[in-house]
Amino acid sequence: MVTAADFVFKGIVTSGNTTNIINAAVTPVFVQQFPALNGLGLSTARLDLAPGGVIPLHTHPAANEILVVTSGVIKAGFITSSSNKVYIATVKKGEVMVFPQGLLHFQINGGGVPASAVVTFNSPEPGLQILDFALFANDFPTELVTGTTFLDPALVKKLKGVLGGTN
């Protein structure tokens, strides 16, 4: 028996835990958490950024993303794929920014107070690839990382150690 309550999700009412290495939390609202989204082609999430908080460079290969700031100030940006042009904006409460599908983008707390936002994706499974983890938190051999990125080998070994990758 379906009721109106089946179409209401209360899991993003409170802030996520931002006491972590990135001083940020992402609370997903995908079909796994909210079955009412099934078949709609949508998903959403709540972002919480403590002062100094960052959602690091990442991409969603299967979705566009819309960010709506609900409190505080968020500095956000993306890098185009054709010309590597960078677009950065300071987005305030009530303002909206869009991130095109598949482009590297980020969000950081743009002020000295906590900030939050709701992001919406035009896919039930937007996918996620965090740049740092893609390069350093894996078994991609250091000599191949340095040979394909022009990064200094000592830096790559250090980053792999910090992020849990193997050399």
Binding site, annotated residues: 58, 60, 65, 105
Binding site, annotated residues for Mn(2+): 58, 60, 65, 105
Neighbours of 91 (CB within 10 A): 21
Binding site, annotated residues for oxalate: 60, 65
Specify burial of residue 140 (Cβ count, 10 A radius: 0-12, 13-18, 19+): middle
End-to-end CA distance of the chain: 54
| 72 dihedral zone (left: phi>0; alpha: psi -120 to 50; beta) | left
* HSE, side-chain direction, 13 A CA sphere, residue 117: 32
